Chain A
Amino acid sequence: MKLNKFVIGGLLILGAVVFLIANATKDASQYFMTVDELKAEGPAIVDKNLRVSGAVIGDTIQYDPSTLTLTFEVAHVPAEDAALKDEGGLAEALHQATIDPSRSRMTVVYVGVKPDLLRNEAQAIVTGSVGADGVFHAEELLLKCPTRYEEAVPDQAG
């Protein structure tokens, strides 16, 4: 009897935690995709919660400070480490992605502050959803510039 009430109490907590995790996972999941995968999904992916990573094309960055609307294009970069390594590391892969016109591209619209790191060949990780028009509406925009903090050897002097 004594044991029972502790077992029941413990099971109740366990059940509550499982429920909380399952519920929160269902509601807050984001699918991590590359630009290629997203294009392949087509209309099936519209309005799903997504997280997409791509290389920023510097020439396409447009910012309207009066409405805080930021528009830019990202080009496909592979997500797997192995594929990245084949292309010579993240920095090189990002560089290739921006100069290769055959890569699939996606337009991103973000309303908010223009991040300091947004520039050509940066890796953009955008969170949001794709509209029916194929434009990605980002709620969150993360940027990484790998070149700077990865290359540990300085350029050769003159």
Chain B
Amino acid sequence: MIANLGLGILLVTFIVTVYSAVTAAASNPKGLARLLRSLPSLRAKRFADELEKLETPQRAASMAESARRAMLLTFPLLTITSLLLIYLLVNDHYEVQFVYEVTSRSMPTYLKITAWWGGQAGSLLFWSWLMSAFASLVTLRKWDRDREFLPWVIFVSCVTLAFFVGMTAFFENPFRVFYQTETGVEAHFFQPANSTPFTPEDGRGLNPLLRHPGMIIHPPLLYLGFVSYVIPFAFAIAALITGRTDDRWIRLTRRWSLWAWLFLTFGLVLGGRWAYDVLGWGGYWGWDPVEIAAFMPWLTGTAFLHSVMIQEKRGMLKHWNMLLIILTYDLVIFGTFLTRSGVLSSVHAFAQSAIGPLFFIYIAITLIVSVALVIYRWGELKSETEMNSLLSREALFLFNNLLFMSILVVCFWGVIYPLTSELFTGSKVTVGPAFYERANGPLFAGLMFLMGIAPLSAWGHSTVKTLGRAMWLPTVAAVLVTIAIFVTYTHNVYALIGFFLVAFVILITLYEYWRGSRARMKIHSENIFTAFWNLTARDRRRYGGYIVHISMMLMAIGILGIELFQMETQGTLEVGQQKSIGGYDVVYKDIARFTGPDGREVTRAVLSIYRGQEYLGDLHPRIDYYWDSQQSMTIPGQRATMKDDLYILLVNWEPAAATGATFKIYVNPLVNWLWMGSLLFLIGIIIAAWPDKDPERIAVRAGRRARQASAAD
């Protein structure tokens, strides 16, 4: 019953979204008419004339309002659908196929709830739910001055929503129910003839690898990031259709793209943390196609974040920004598709389905239509100023964009290389992590260098001389730091280049902070802390951005450490024996096998860690074996410090054999800086994105008050 109700509401939601999209588009016949005129067809022109006759202000307003209300309706509808699904999940309704696939009786309730996005059908519903929430949020803003955008923002949101809701309703429906027919058990929406309802005893349970706190937050964060990018895209399309091609759409969505970027970045970092904690191979990032799929919109999103500043400040790169946000949107859809469809076999390939072609068609259509719109408005998107100096800030931002695009090209090449090489040479060739590391390494180094000098360059014009004067002091300091690292830590050239760039960026950024604060101290006679505080508060976007830069450098320290200096050893130990690595002595103490709360069989070893004579504590690597899915998980024992992580895996232990237990031990230097950096990143982005009082509305309010005052005179 409940499953049928869910199905019904889902279908209603689909109709509502389609209605909203159509009404929103129709509420603006002039815009449509103008688009139709550009088509080289007489009939289209005649139809455009008819359309223009239809336009009356009242009619347009009431239709837009109707579209808006319909769109607002999708959020409660999808919320009810989701609650129904959660109800089914939590209450063990295994007659529902989706519930059977992702939960089992032994799972705790919170995992049954998160199983919502543990399977394909549920996660598409989750995507739609987020989309409807964000679209509704957008309409809460004051629209007085941007009335013409509204219908088109609703239109784009609802087309996207209709695609995902339609996909959920017609192809990946979580509300299919099992029936016993003559030929066997089948899943259907409605009871077929000659069949009886069928309820399995227990579900298959969520993939054990996904039963981890990191896996609970990682997908929602990624999805939050993905879905947030739809909003700037919707505004960009609205700007293109209405012809309001100034930077208004960018200013309105600046915060959306910042939050989107925050969620996406944090989702990626958490995914890395999950891999580090659960997958048991000592790493955090494997250049897996699915990881790359989530990384590609991050690249274009980051480039977008930077290049919109040039448009706001200098009125340049307007075409480029449009193309970037279109690309980001389609990469978001592509990323959702890759993670959900299982086209590329990888760790994430638990999702297999037939929705692939639909995704490709949708991506192709949106890409073609959006790019066509940009070409249609090409003339109106001309730059207002010209780029003169190679070292000006806008030029450096442009190079930054080129580098991000280059990394994107590298990643895209790596993902599609197997397909293209098969097409052209017949033999299927793949590229591994080494390809990405080699090709991207120099590009990342270039980005770091730009991150160092760009904040010092001026808009419009900079020369080597002005730049040099601003940066010689931090540069000398960075060289000294690098020499110190050379003497005390490593002679590895790549590491030294990396650490020099890290020091270079951090020191220049801190130097900028210090110069700014000192200026305030002099002018406003503030003490250093107030000056620092006010400096940040006055230009939060800039100084929040600097904090993000520093956090990226901290992450770079972690990445350099684990990539270049990871040590590993492996061996079989008997109780009492020890193994040494990287200054640690690891003594194997004990091992036990017992049954865990949810039926898993746990094999847990106890190892004591010493550095020389000093006892540092015990570690407990373990293997969890899940009988219900016949799959095991290797959970490392970790001891984390800022200097390095000791990371021990229990590889094998046979209770019957007297051969002892086998361990694999890693020392991962500096990797903790990666996680610390991500926390600082959070702070920086919140500073940059925290809403301030809308200056325009304050101005409006002040104006009204002034008018009232003059009326009272």
Contacts and interface: CB of A to CB of B under 8 A. Distances in A.
B351 to A, nearest CB: 8
Contacts of A30: 429-432
B45 interface: no
Interface string B391-414: 000010011001100100110010
Interface string A112-149: 11101100000001010000000000001000110011
A32 B97 contact: no
Identify whether the interface residues of A are mostly helix, strand, loop, or mixed.
mixed
Interface in A1-59: 2, 5-6, 9-10, 13, 16-17, 20-21, 23-25, 27-33, 51
A13 B651 contact: no
A20 B438 contact: yes
A33 B426 CA distance: 11
Nearest to B390: A5
A154 B204 CA distance: 9
B184 A153 contact: yes
B100 A65 contact: no
Contacts of B632: 116
A28 B432 contact: yes
A21 B178 CA distance: 50
Contacts of A145: 631
Contact of B207 (A65, A127, A149): A149
B428 A31 contact: yes
Nearest to A125: B345
B443 A20 contact: yes
B49 interface: no
Contacts of A32: 418, 427-430
Contacts of A148: 204, 629-631
A31 B425 CA distance: 11
Counting chain A CB atoms within 10 Å of each CB, the highest count among B178, B402, B428, B631 belongs to B428
A152 interface: yes
Contacts of B76: none
B352 interface: yes
B439 interface: yes
Given A112-B570, A113-B570, A152-B187, A16 B427 contact: no
B390 A9 contact: yes
A157 interface: yes
Interface string B371-389: 0000000000000001110
B386 A2 contact: yes
Contacts of A114: 651-652
A20 B629 contact: no
B599 interface: no
Interface residues of B, number: 65
Contacts of A99: none
A100 interface: no
A17 B431 contact: no
Interface string B87-103: 00000000001001100
A156 B632 CA distance: 26
Contacts, number: 141
Nearest to B634: A116
A148 B629 CA distance: 8
A124 B603 CA distance: 25
B570 A68 contact: yes
A154 B649 CA distance: 35
Contacts of B610: none
Nearest to B203: A154
Contacts of B417: 25
A16 B442 contact: yes
A17 B432 contact: no
B286 to A, nearest CB: 10
B186 interface: yes
Nearest to A146: B352
B97 A6 contact: no
Contacts of B649: 113
A72 interface: no
B168 to A, nearest CB: 16
B704 to A, nearest CB: 48
A152 B438 contact: no
A102 interface: no
Interface in A64-101: 65-66, 68, 79
B572 interface: yes
Contacts of B413: 21, 25
A114 B572 CA distance: 13
Given A10-B402, A28-B435, A113-B664, A65 B430 contact: no
B572 A66 contact: yes
Most chain A CB within 10 A, of B399, B439, B630, is at B439
B185 interface: yes
B438 A65 contact: no
A10 to B, nearest CB: 7
B608 interface: no
A2 B389 CA distance: 8
Interface of B: 97, 100-101, 178, 180, 184-187, 198, 200-201, 204, 207, 280, 345, 349-350, 352, 386-388, 390, 395, 398-399, 402-403, 406, 409-410, 413, 417-418, 427-432, 434-436, 438-439, 442-443, 570-572, 623, 629-634, 649, 651-652, 654, 659-660, 662, 664
5 contacts: A17-B410, A21-B409, A24-B410, A153-B187, A154-B100
Interface of A: 2, 5-6, 9-10, 13, 16-17, 20-21, 23-25, 27-33, 51, 63, 65-66, 68, 79, 112-114, 116-117, 125, 127, 140, 144-145, 148-150, 152-157
Given A20-B438, A25-B413, A28-B431, 16 more contacts: A5-B390, A6-B395, A9-B399, A20-B439, A20-B442, A21-B410, A24-B436, A25-B439, A27-B434, A29-B435, A30-B431, A31-B427, A65-B662, A125-B345, A154-B185, A157-B198
